[in-house]
Chains A and B, each alone.
Chain A
Amino acid sequence: MTKTITIDPVTRIEGHARITLQLDKKGQVDDAQFHVTQFRGFEKFCEGRPFTEMPAITARTCGICPVSHLMASSKACDDLMAVDIPPTADMLRRLMNLAQLTQSHALSFFHLSSPDMLLGWDSDPAQRHIFGVAAKHPELAVDGVKLRKIGQTIIEILGGKKVHPAWMVGGGVNAPLTEETRQKMLDMLPEALDIARRTIKWYKQTLGQFGEEVRTFANFPSMFMGLVDKSGGLEHYDGYLRVTDENGKTVEDMIDPKRFHEVLGEAVEKFSYMKFPYYKARGYPDGMYRVGPLARLNISDHAGTPIADQELAEFKDLHRGAVLSSFQYHYARLIEIIFAIERMKQLLEDPMILDPHVRARARGNRNEGIGVAEAPRGTLIHHYKINDDGQITWANLIIATGHNNLAMNRGVKQVAQHFVDGTKLQEGMLNRVEAVIRCFDPCLSCATHAMGQMPLHVQLVDPTGNVVDEVLRD
C-alpha cells in the first residue's frame, strides 16, 4: 500500500509551506514535493499605483528582507526615470543592503538553523529552538542576537526604522549621512567582526560532525547564478549576471541583468504557488540552478575584502569545481557576513559617503524598468511597466527563493530518501527534511509575494485519506 507523509507546516522558515512525501509499498520514499501554500497577489494590487510608491509597497512583501525589495524596486524606479543616481546614493544603498545581509544571515544561521546543529536533529523538538540554544550555549545565542541587532541598528540609523524604512527611493536615497551617525555605525563594526570570526571558527571545527548531512542535504550537481562585479568579484547591489555549471565552469557571463529574460524562463506547477524559474538554454526542469550565498561564492572569483578573501579561498578548497552540498549554504552565509562587515567599514571610511547630494530627480521617462540586486537569499528582480502618467500598468517580481524552487524540491527528495523510513515514522527524520529547506533559508512570504510561526503537524495518511500516524509539535 502506498502512503503519503505530510509535513505541514514546515517550521523555522520564513513563510508557510508544506512537504509531502509519497511512500512506496515497502514504506520507502518514492517522491517528495515542497508546496508553498500562501498566495499574496502583490503584482496585481500594485497596478494603478504611482511608480514612486513601489519601493514602499513592495517592501511590505517581507519583514525580514524589506531592504532587498526597497533596493530592487528603487533600481527599477531609477530605470523608469532613466537616471544615474549620485555615487554617494549608490554607496548608501550598498551600506544598507550589507547591513541587511548581516542581520538576515544572522537570523537564518543563529535563530533558525543553529538549534539543529547545536542541539541535534533528533533532540527534543520542544527545546529545539533559539531559546533551547540560549539555555545550553548562551554565548552563541548572545552572539547571534547581538550580530542581528548590529545589522538592524545600522538599517535603523540609515532609514529611521528597522523594518520597512522609507529612505531608499527612486533616484537615490532621501537623506544624506551625518558625521555623527557614520561614527556610530563604525563603532559597532569591530564587535560584529569578532562575532562573525568566532562563529566561522566554531562552524569549521564542528563541520566534521555533520558528515552525513553534508553528503545528503541537497548535494547534487546543479548550475549556479548570481551577480558579480566587473572583475568577477562578489557583488550584492549591482553588476552582471553570471551562470556557472556544476563543474564551476562559467556558461554565461557579464550579462546585463536587464536582459535576464533572455537567460531565464519561468514554469508553473500545480502543487505550489511558487513559480519554477529555470535556465533557458537547458530547458525545464534540467535548467535547475541555485542562487543565494552558496551560489554567489561559487561563481565569484574573489570577495574583495581581506578576511573574506582568505575564507573564500578555504571554502573553494572544499570541493573541486563548485561546492555542491546545500548544507554549505550555512558556511557561505558566515563568509558573507564577514564580507559585509568588512565592506561596510570600507564604505563608511570613504569621505564620499558624507556627500549631501544623494538624490536624482526625474519623472517617468521610460515605460519599462528593471531592477536587479542580490537579496540575502539570491538574485531579486523587479520588473515594472508604467503609463505616460507614471502609473504602474504591469509588475513582475522574480524572487530569490523562487530560483531555488527546483533545487529545494530535489533536495527534499534526496534527504527524505536517505533518512525517512515510512514504516517507523520518527520526528528526527522529518526534522532533517525540514532542515534541508532551512539551508536555503527560503523566504516564502516573498516568493509568493505570510508570516507567523505555526506548530509542526505531520500526518501519515493512507491512500484513502485515513490518518494512520501523527506527530504534533506545539
Chain B
Amino acid sequence: MARQKLPPTQTLTMKIDDVDVTAKPGQTIQDVARDHDIEIPGLCYIDGLTIWGACRLCLVEVEGMRKLLAACSTEVAEGMIVHTDTERLRRYRKMVIEMLFAERNHVCSVCVSNGHCDLQAMAVQLGVDHVHLPYMNPDVKVDSSHDRFRLDHNRCILCTRCVRVCGEIEGAATKGVGGRGINARIINDLNMPWGDSQTCTSCGKCVHICPTGALVEKGTAAAEMKKHRSFLPYLTVMRES
C-alpha cells in the first residue's frame, strides 16, 4: 500500500542534532532529517519502497528512550529530541558494518563491484579500518544460471532491496528470502535456480538497486560493475501510478 499523503493539518516541532526542525505527522525521523539536509547512514532504505529496517545503520538516539531507534521506521512526535551522530552511534554503526563483512565473503579487491559498492563506501565513510570479529568464511554458492545476471550470495547483506523492488515495482515477486537467521538467503521463486524462474522478467531492477556485488551483470570483470541508479528517484512515482 502506498503511503497516504495527509493534508498538512498539523505541524510538529522537534530537534535533530540540536537544530530546531518542523515535521508533519506520519513522517519518519529519516524523512524529516532528509528534508533538513541531515544525513543519516543506511543501506536497506530506498525512497519509494516499503520500509524494512534491516540494516540497523540508521539507528539514532532519542532523548528519554533507552533503546536506539531506526530512523527509517520511527515516526516523529511532538517535542522529540533526536541525536544522529554520537560516539555511541558511530561505534554501533561500525560494528554493524564489521558484522556484515564477517558474515559472508566480501573480498573487495577482486569483486566486480569494487569501487562502486555502497557497503564499501559506507565502510570508508564510517572509518571501518579493521574487522574485529572472526570471519565466518561460509561456503556459499554463486547462482549464474540466469542468462544475463548473477546472484553471488557471498556478497549479499540481506538488505532485501531486490525483494522489494521486484515485488512492489516490477510486480514479478520473483525474489524472496528463504531460510532463517544466519542461514537466510535471497531466493528466486520457490528456491530454484534463477535461470529456471518462470516469473522473472529480466528487467534488471534488482541488479541495479543492489548495494553490493551480490546482484550483477554477467561478463563483468573486477571493478567493472557500475550500477545504473538514475531510475531510483522515480520509484515513488512508479508506485503511485
Contact = CB atoms under 8 A, between A and B. Distances in A.
A389 B109 CA distance: 23
B150 interface: yes
Given A56-B110, A60-B109, A50 B222 contact: no
B141 interface: yes
Nearest to A169: B221
A166 interface: yes
Interface string A172-184: 0010000000000
B109 A50 contact: no
Nearest to A361: B219
B112 A53 contact: yes
A174 B221 contact: yes
Contact of B222 (A56, A361, A389, A390): A56
B219 A55 contact: no
Interface majority SS on A: helix, strand, loop or mixed? loop
A53 B144 contact: no
Given A164-B109, A391-B144, A53 B218 contact: no
Interface residues of B, number: 17
A52 B110 contact: no
Given A53-B110, A56-B110, A389 B145 contact: yes
A166 B223 contact: yes
B142 interface: yes
Interface in A367-393: 389-391
Nearest to A389: B144
A138 to B, nearest CB: 36
B110 A57 contact: yes
A56 B109 contact: yes
B170 interface: no
Interface majority SS on B: helix, strand, loop or mixed? loop
Contacts of B141: 48
A390 B221 contact: no
A345 interface: no
A55 B221 contact: yes
Interface in A27-79: 48-50, 52-53, 55-57, 60
Contacts of B202: none
Contacts, number: 47
A363 B222 contact: no
Interface in B112-142: 112, 114, 141-142
Nearest to B195: A389
A170 interface: yes
B75 interface: no
B85 interface: no
A52 B195 CA distance: 19
Given A56-B110, A60-B110, A164-B109, A49 B142 contact: yes
Interface string A204-245: 000000000000000000000000000000000000000000
A389 B149 CA distance: 11
B201 interface: no
A49 B141 CA distance: 9
A54 B110 CA distance: 9
B188 to A, nearest CB: 14
Interface in B63-112: 109-110, 112
Interface string A264-276: 0000000000000
B199 interface: no
Q: 8 closest Cβ contacts across the A-B interface?
A: A56-B222, A389-B144, A169-B221, A56-B110, A166-B222, A166-B223, A57-B110, A52-B221
Interface of B: 109-110, 112, 114, 141-142, 144-145, 150, 195, 218-224
Given A50-B142, A174-B224, 15 more contacts: A48-B142, A50-B144, A52-B218, A52-B221, A53-B110, A53-B221, A55-B222, A56-B110, A60-B109, A166-B221, A166-B223, A166-B224, A363-B219, A389-B195, A390-B144
